[in-house]
Amino acid sequence: MYSTSLKGNCICEMKCLDEISNVSSSVSCVISTLHCCDRDCMKEEKVNITIEEDDLLPSNYLSKNIFGLLIPALEETLIEASKRNVLRVQKCRFNGLDNIAEILWNRNPRHSKIYSPPLSVFDIPPFKEYLHSHPRSYFPKSWLWSEDEAALHIQRYVRGWFVRKRMDVQEMRQFWKA
């Protein structure tokens, strides 16, 4: 299956290449190497490399390697977003990109270590380095609080205002102020 043409007087052994598949298109390439018995002769080898026809299409690479990981992560992100009412409330603390990054990092098939508790996005080492050099701006508290927490803070403020407005409390404040 492999054709070689040698220039020079020396004959060197060539390592065989494994066939990728039976039905394949062949691509020829020229490899120049400088190793021989005498180290004086130069040989030029023409090698036919087999490549699957399906591997040549970018869409097949995307569907096999990328979408298998990305689509479940997107589905999980949508489920998490609907749990936190992100689709109904415009401003909230949920960041979809952070969630996708966290899911993809924790489920990376090439990742050598599998962390028993999954890492949050702020514990991922490359992300930590990036945040160290490019810190994020702080979110307003209204984005960070849930509806219940926001209601408690508003009620606390209004009750305090009503108490501070009472005459007896005003007198006491004036007394302790002087």
> Do the beta carbons of residue 28 and residue 44 sit within 8 Å?
no
Same domain, 124 and 74: yes
Q: What is the pLDDT of residues 71-128, one digit of tens each?
A: 999 999 999 999 988 888 777 778 889 999 999 988 887 776 666 678 888 888 899 9
Same domain, 124 and 150: no
User: Does some domain include residue 99?
Assistant: yes
Same domain, 124 and 161: no
Same domain, 98 and 156: no
**Average pLDDT in the chain:** 73
Distances (CA, A) of 44 to 18, 33, 148: 20, 7, 75
Same domain, 110 and 147: no
Residue 136: what pLDDT? 83
Domain that holds residue 142: 138-165
Residue 129, amino acid? E
User: Does some domain include residue 39?
Assistant: no
Q: What is the pLDDT of residues 27-69, one digit of tens each?
A: 333 333 444 444 444 444 445 555 566 666 888 888 888 888 8
User: Does some domain include residue 146?
Assistant: yes
Same domain, 144 and 97: no
Radius of gyration of the chain (CA): 33
Total domains, the chain: 2
Q: What is the pLDDT of residues 118-157, one digit of tens each?
A: 888 888 889 999 989 998 877 777 777 878 888 999 999 9
The pTM (predicted TM-score) of the whole model is: 0.49
Report which secondary-structure segment, H or E, holds 44: strand 43-51
Same domain, 158 and 100: no
Same domain, 77 and 89: yes
User: Does some domain include residue 41?
Assistant: no
CA dihedral 32, 33, 36, 42 (to 10 degrees): 40
**How many other C-beta atoms lie within 10 A of the C-beta of residue 43?**
20
Residue 11 token pair: 């004959």
